[in-house]
Structure 1
Amino acid sequence: MIASLDTTFSALADPTRRAILAMLLEDDMAVTDVAHPFDMSLAAISKHLGVLTAAGLITQEKRGRVKWCKLEPDALRAASVWMQGFGQFEPVNLDAFERFLKAELPDRDTPTDLGG
């Protein structure tokens, strides 16, 4: 479980990946649509998506010629359970997580200002 938590928290440590998760809270997205608002190459976005996929936070599925990304709703369960062990945290609720991301991240139209 510790290796899984390390992978999850490592994936969440990057502001670009947190911005991607915030985007995917809205709906499934094609990889090219995920990449669009970022000032980086498609290859760089693909690497970020690979990290999120490896952490189990998202899944990627090919539909025809297009690769789609989908947020995994229970992906943060283990991290939530671990944090609850400290008695200071409530279970992760995706609606609350979305509100948190929206409050913490600047306007999605300027993802390059995320400090990463």
Structure 2
Amino acid sequence: MADDNTSAYNCRTANQINAPFLKSPHANGRAIDINPVENPWRDLRCKCWFPSKANAARVEGPGKVLRGGVVWTAFRDEGWIWQNIDVADYMHFDTGYPSNPFDRQPSGS
């Protein structure tokens, strides 16, 4: 994340509490994270932002994914879902399986 690499496949361990490999959309090729530095996620275990809080505010800026923006629209047009989890994860798009087919603003943002 610190290198700001957009990524799709991420290996998970069987006992990884936040994304076990059998359920992880990344471990199963169903998700992509875009520009992590510009689009951080919030870890509720520590109530901190990764890779940094610097871009947590959802205001326009280079590389940011915003609801209704160009990146959001392109992925939505292909049937992808943006950050369909209970915490803010602004970099995350997934195919919706087994996620719910809706797009909501998570709490804590």
Instruction: Give the TM bin, normalised by the shorter chain.
Output: under 0.3
Higher RCO, 1 vs 2 (CA within 8 Å, ≥6 residues apart): 1
Query: Greater CA radius of gyration, 1 or 2?
Result: 1
Q: TM-score, normalised by structure 1?
A: 0.27
